[in-house]
Amino acid sequence: MSARLSFNPEETEEIRILRAEYFDASKRAAEAIQTGEHPFDDAALTLVINEDARAGKAMRRIKEIYGLAQGDDEPSTPIKLPNPSGETQHEMPKVGSRDAPGG
C-alpha cells in the first residue's frame, strides 16, 4: 500500500496537530501506567483507557489523510508514515501493545 506524499496546507497543519496529539496522549497513558511502587488504581486505568483512545483516534485520522485507512481492520504490523516534508518516520506502537516500549 502506498501513502500519499503531497498535502495541501490545511492537511499539513492538521497532520502536525494530530502527531502532537498522538504523542502527547501516548505519553500521558504511559506515565499513568507507570505506577512505581503504588498499586494501579481505577483513576490511572481510566486515564490510560481515555488517552489510549485519544491516541488511536489521532492515528486513525492521520492514516485517513495519508490514504492508508483500512476501515475497522488494523494492520498487524506497524506501517511507515512519511512526513509531509518527505522523510519517513516509523509509527509508534500503541500504548499497551506488546511492541510498545515497556509493553
Mean pLDDT to the nearest integer, 14-21: 96
Residue 66: closest CA among 91, 42, 93 = 91
Contacts of residue 28, Cβ cutoff 8 Å, sequence gap at least 6: 47, 51
Q: Summarize pLDDT for 79-88 with one digit per residue, the tens.
A: 555 555 555 4
Asked, for residue 101, whether it belongs to a domain, the answer is no
In angstroms, the CA 55 to CA 30 distance is 11
Q: Is the pTM above the cut of 0.75?
A: no
In angstroms, the CA 46 to CA 60 distance is 21
* C-beta separation of 59 from 52 below 8 A: no
State the residue range of the domain holding 58. 9-90
Indicate the range of 1-5, 18-22, 92-96 predicted with least confidence: 92-96
Q: Give me the pLDDT at residue 29, please.
A: 93
Asked, for residue 22, whether it belongs to a domain, the answer is yes
User: Domains in the chain: how many in total?
Assistant: 1
